[in-house]
A and B are shown apart, each in its own frame.
Chain A
Amino acid sequence: MAIVFERPKSLTNVTTHYCPGCTHGIIHRLIAEVMDELDIAGKTIGIAPVGCSVFAYNYFNCDMVQAAHGRAPAVATGLKRALPDQVIFSYQGDGDLASIGTAEIVHAAHRGENITVIFVNNAIYGMTGGQMAPTSLLEQKTTTSPYGRQEAQTGKPIRMSEMLATLDSTALISRVSVHNAANVLKAKKMIKQAFIAQQKGLGFSMVEVLSTCPTNWGLSPIEALKWLEGNMIPYYPLKDFKVPEEVK
């Protein structure tokens, strides 16, 4: 899938622990490329969540802080308030951001914190072994929805971008995907715009990236990309909910 280019300077020379075909790695790479292109690695502090990307602090070649499950937006708030001239981003999964950390994300957005959030939605709890997430699709089988997710018991999947876009204080909200080359390019462009929005002091920016979890979805990497395209995108449309003119 993704062609192997030269390693961005903003990534460390460490082999990641991600499963083969997992798109977490691609998203890391996009962030690193953006950091290189904007030449901000020296002034960036990233926040690793609890989830499969917990070791992100080993992979990004910049200062990193590991946060408790779901609390990354609050940690980002503290960092940004103390270091207003630095670039602060959090990297969060869907269990982290859309379940245990909903209060923190909603209020960082509501305060219009000038931070950038990369929200990796793979419709499942990857790290803990494939349990249902609030973002899991109806009928999706997980280890805690063995009969498929049922609306009667668990409601319908939560759409965080749509929800946060309703908050007047958010500056940039967009949903992108990394299931093919064209979308990878679009995703990178949006991640870059999100970082620029922060550098311009425009306020809260979040890019939701649809991502795969071949291991817990029980699919091959290629099948997983197809599943994402065929099942996730219809429910989670790729869309720029809000993109400020200043970063286009």
Chain B
Amino acid sequence: MFDHRVTVFVGPYGSGKTELSLNVVQFLAPQYHQIAIVDLDIVKPYFRAREFRTKLIHRDIRVILPQGELQHADMPSVSAEVFTVFHNPDLKVIMDVGGDDAGAVALGQYKAQFEKIDHEVLFVINTRRPFSQTADHLIEMKERIEWRSRLPITALVANTNLGAETTKETILEGYAVAQEVSKRTGLPIAFVAIDRRLHQDVKHIIKEPLFLVDRQMLPPWERNIEE
């Protein structure tokens, strides 16, 4: 997992790209001297990676975002700092891209840069999301994202979940759909993302690597309790 210098998460709207990006970057941080998360989400107004900035900076993770006041602006601003991603060969990068083809369009401008660097583009699948329940829907979205982002997708991530209500069955059912997408597109499943609390339940059933997720994107009533 994650053996390319740059990992880009794309996928349908709400499929869990930001939650994954936050988890992955924190998981990898201890292993890398220089690591950054790039928030390229131009479509979603709340719950973006940028809201976790302080926490990430504390762990020596560079956070590349629209700067200053624009951080909370109602506009699709993208930082010029993104270009450093391409020019610094020692920087490990996780990129969180906005949902659907509408969000993926923000990648299009970097086509030439991506061609020159070692990267992977992971398509995140949550089959418990609207317009994402069948392989047909997912394959259509995959093609639309590739067309708008001008980047070929290189692998799939099975990330089916119902938030706090995820069960073993939810995961396995989504895993099956991801396998079908994999078979029909020829793309491998890079890993299956699961809630850490369900690890014991599924670890013997799934053959692909597992990535354990701790939910971070919580609403304010779950967020503040421990503080």
- Please say whether the chains A and B touch (CB closer than 8 A): no
